[in-house]
Every structure is written in C-alpha cells, then in structure tokens.
Structure 1
Amino acid sequence: MDERDLRPADKAILDVLSQGRATKGLLVDETGYSRNTVYNRLEVLQAAGHVRLVHEPTRLFELASDPRDSN
C-alpha cells in the first residue's frame, strides 16, 4: 500500500496517529468517520503494516510507518 492506495478515511486516521497514539473511539471522534469505517480502514492499514495495535482491550493504535512519506 502506498499513497495512491489511500482513501480519505485512511489519510484522516494517519493524520491523527501522526500526532501520537489513539484509541479507536478517539479516531472516530477526531476523523468524523463512522465506527465501522474507522474499524475497516484500521484493519487495512494494520495489514499493510502502517498502524500497529498496541493494547487490545482499549483498541489503542500507533503509527508504524506513514505511506505518505515514501515519495
């Protein structure tokens, strides 16, 4: 996955995570996207190695690598 593959929701999630760790709930609040959209996009970003789940019980995520930096 590189920058061309990113959806607007992905970019919004990456923007929030570039400022530090965030829970799924905070990502929903900060991006304005639905819980389902945030969950689905986190799964895609996690599978691509761009975000990492830090704490399962709280669904705390952090940025692992930003595909927008690869250009």
Structure 2
Amino acid sequence: MAIKITPSTEAILDVLQEGRATPGYLQEQTGLSRNTVQNQLRSLLSGDCVQYVHEPTGLYELVDDPRVGDGNGI
C-alpha cells in the first residue's frame, strides 16, 4: 500500500527514525494532535512501515521508511 507523505507523516517518521516511540511521545515531540498521530500510525501500520513492539503500551518502531526511494527500508 502506498503511503501519502504529508507534513504530519514526515514529522512522525523523523521521530521514529531516532528510535521507538509511543503515541504520547510522538504527540509531545511533533506538536500534532492525538487524532492526527493515531491516524498517521494507522496508515503507517497498514503500509507495513511501522510495527508494534509492545502493543499494550502502544510502542512503535519504524521498519520501512516510505520516503526512501526503493521502499526497502531506512
């Protein structure tokens, strides 16, 4: 699935490139709303770009950066 890269997507991907993050941490670091963060994560999950590391706490990590030209990872 192709991911539409918006400024919000870019901000979240930038944080995830630094390491694992929870939605709350992503909100804090990007200034995005909770809803925007959740929508972006849902899109990135469906595109296999991020994965849950620990689902109960919502810890995510980047596995395939969609901004990379060949789509084969970060």
TM-score (norm 1): 0.90
Report the Cα distance in structure 1 between the residues aligned to 2:52 and 2:9, rounded to whole angstroms: 16
Q: How does 1:1-71 map to 2 (within 5 A)?
A: 1=2, 5-70=4-69
**Residues in 1 aligned to 2:16 and 2:50: alpha-carbon distance in whole angstroms:** 8
Q: Which has the higher contact order (CA 8 A, sep 6+)?
A: 1
Question: Which structure has more helix as a fraction of its residues?
Answer: 1
Aligned-pair identity in percent equals 51
Gaps of at least 5 residues in structure 1 are none
Normalised by the size of structure 2, how large is the TM-score?
0.87
Could you list the runs of 5+ residues in structure 2 that have no partner in the other structure? none
